[in-house]
Each structure stands twice: as C-alpha cells, then as structure tokens.
Amino acid sequence: DVSPDINLEDIDPGAEYHESLYRELEGLDSQIVDVLHCCAIIGQRFQVSLIAKIFQVDILELLTMLQFAEERGLVVDRLPNDDIYEFKDKRIASVFRHSRNDNPKQIHQKIREYHRRYLNLRTEELENRYANLEEVPFTETLAMVAHAKFVSEAMPTKTIQWSLLASKQCEKRRLYGRAIEKLEPALSLVQNRTDVDISIESKIEILLLYAQLIIKIGDDSENAITSLKQAVALAKRLPAGESSKILLNIALLRATVSYQNRSFEEVIKIAKTIIDNPEVELWRQYRARFLSSISLDPKTQAEEKHNNLQQLLTDIEKLIGHEGSESDYQLQLLECEICNEFGKSFLFY
C-alpha cells in the first residue's frame, strides 16, 4: 500500500525507467544533451536567457533545441513568454544530472564549469537588479550559495559573499541550524586559506557569526571557542583603535560560552575586565554586569543576584530611548533577558 502522504514523484521508479530514458538520450544531439545536463544541474526550472549566456549561443538557437526536447517529452514551457522552462518530471532532471559517461572526471569538470558560469552571470544580473544584495529574495540567495559551494576553491570571494548573505537571512528567520550550514563554505575558506581576498574585518565577521550561531543553538562550545580564538588572532593584526571594540565583542561572546559551559568563575572574571574598562560602551558594560550576576550561586548568593538584577533593570530603564539605535536595541534585548531571569531569581529569593 502507498501512503497518501507520499509524493509519487519522489518514489524511485527503478532501473527500467532510467534505462528507458537513457535510450531516449541516445537519439538526442550531443549539444542538446549537454544543454539539458547543465539545466538539470541548475535546477528543476531554468531561465532560458541565462542558459544561452552560459553556452554562448543565440537564444533562438537554444529555443529550437528546447522545443525539440519538449516534443520528446523532456521539458515543458509552462508559461509562454516568461523565459522559463522546466523539466516535465523531477526524475527526468535526475537522469540528466547523473547521465552516464565513460569519463567521470570530464563530467565533474563540466559540472563545476556550469556552476562557475551560472554564479558569475546570475550574480551580475542580481547586482544590476538590486541596489543591495541583502534585498535578494531568500530562496534566490539559498540557490546562489548552493551553486557557490561547488566552486568555492576557484571562486572564494563570491562564495563568501553568498554564503554570508544566506546565513544572515537564515538567522533573521531564526533558522540557526540552517544558518550554520549556509555559513560553512565561507567559514571553511576563512579558516583554511590565507590567500582569500577579503578584509580582516570580514573574516572576523564570519568567525563571530559562526560563534554566535553555535551559542544560539547550544551546540558544541569547542567549535565556538576555536572560532573566537581565531577572531582574536585576526583582531590583533588591526590598529588598536579598530581592534578594541572587536575584542570586547569577542570577550562578551567568550563569557557567554563560559556561562553555557557552567564555568561561572571564568564568566565573572571576563565580565570584570569589561565592567572595569572606562572606554566600554554602556550597553556592553551592562551586558557584562548581567552575565556576572546570573553566574552567582542561586542558593548561597540569591539575595545578591536578585539585587544586582534589580539595580541593572532600573539603570537600563533610565537609559532606553536616550541612547543611539544600536545601543537602544541592545538595552531592550537585555531588559527582556533580565525579566526572564527574574523568574528564576524569585524561586530562590
């Protein structure tokens, strides 16, 4: 019996179906096979004008090929005049993606070249369409990083660009696990290559974002600590004036990791260095005070913890609305965390 929840198109039709499609391919011109192989790599749906640029052929010539493929039941023009074709069936696209060839190395080289050309051309189109690539639709951004990861070694700068954008868009949607996944191509390049042509600040941004995401999902803290150590090493290469804020952010993140690891004495020690620094912005001082307060023993230091949180909340409420937008946001966020922590504090006080 077949469950009504199963999509019939997702069921593997078996070797006989694939063999019948391979026989269909044997009658096709090699150029059409190459074109459809590229289209399948790009996805179930594909933009005709973009494929024409990839193969550097006239669009009318390409449309003639696609019309022939449509007559063979391989692709279909769902909406005429919209520049989009799609494979008639997902299984047909799968066959083209895994089409048989006596030279697997040659196939892999072709696939990488398809991804490379697509990434270059599509990036150019999107840069011309949007003033800021952060405005690119979420699904489009995810598609771009999917192509980029296949050519990350050859195109590190574009890979980092799209990987970081995709990760940030996932983070905004609170898809933290997925954000880590999308950040991995950029993270790997920053951690493993020294010739990547991006600024030190951009490398630090990627390392800190990775640590923040790990903290949010409560994952392996060792990975977060490693990332923070690498960020410290990079920050120390910057001029003192530029590195100070970065090092403070790293210290706050390190204190947060230590709190998650229940290393409360270490949290209090790190927090003290931030609180005692007269040049630290108020919201960072208050964040350090918060981390220090919640690290107190809830049984033996309950009263001190409660009083510290109460005073901190009073101080923050006086400041909200009088600081800059970034500071206000951080203070409001901290205000919510303190209120949540009060619930735990009252259990012991």
CB neighbour list of residue 224: distance below 8 Å, 6 or more residues apart: 210, 211, 214, 215, 253, 257
Flag whether pLDDT at 347 surpasses 60. no
The closest of 130, 65, 88 to 144, measured between CA atoms, is 130
**Beta strand spans in 48-173 (E):** 75-76, 84-87
- Contact status, residue 186 vs residue 206, Cβ threshold 8 Å: yes
The one-letter code for the residue type at 95 is V
State how far the Cα of 159 lies from the Cα of 163, in Å rounded to an integer.
Answer: 6
Taking the model in full, what pTM does it have? 0.79
User: pLDDT at position 8, please?
Assistant: 41
State how far the Cα of 111 lies from the Cα of 128, in Å rounded to an integer.
Answer: 26
Cα dihedral 312, 254, 329, 272 in deg (nearest 10): 30
Token representation of residue 202:
């951009």
State how far the Cα of 150 lies from the Cα of 9, in Å rounded to an integer.
Answer: 26
Tens of pLDDT, residues 115-153: 999 999 999 999 999 999 999 999 999 999 999 999 999
Tens of pLDDT, residues 308-328: 999 999 988 888 877 666 788
* Burial degree of 66 (CB within 10 A; 0-12, 13-18, 19+): buried
Sign of the dihedral defined by the CA atoms of residues 12, 13, 16, 19, in that order? negative
Token representation of residue 285:
């001082």
Flag whether pLDDT at 18 surpasses 60. no
- Angle of helix 176-192 versus helix 156-172 axis, rounded to 10: 160
Tens of pLDDT, residues 287-307: 999 999 999 988 888 889 889
User: pLDDT at position 181, please?
Assistant: 95
State how far the Cα of 25 lies from the Cα of 33, in Å rounded to an integer.
Answer: 7
Token representation of residue 77:
């023009």
Token representation of residue 275:
């609180």
pLDDT > 90 fraction of the chain, expressed in percent and rounded:
52
Angle at 151 between CA 146 and CA 156, to 5 degrees: 100
In residues, how long is the chain? Answer: 349
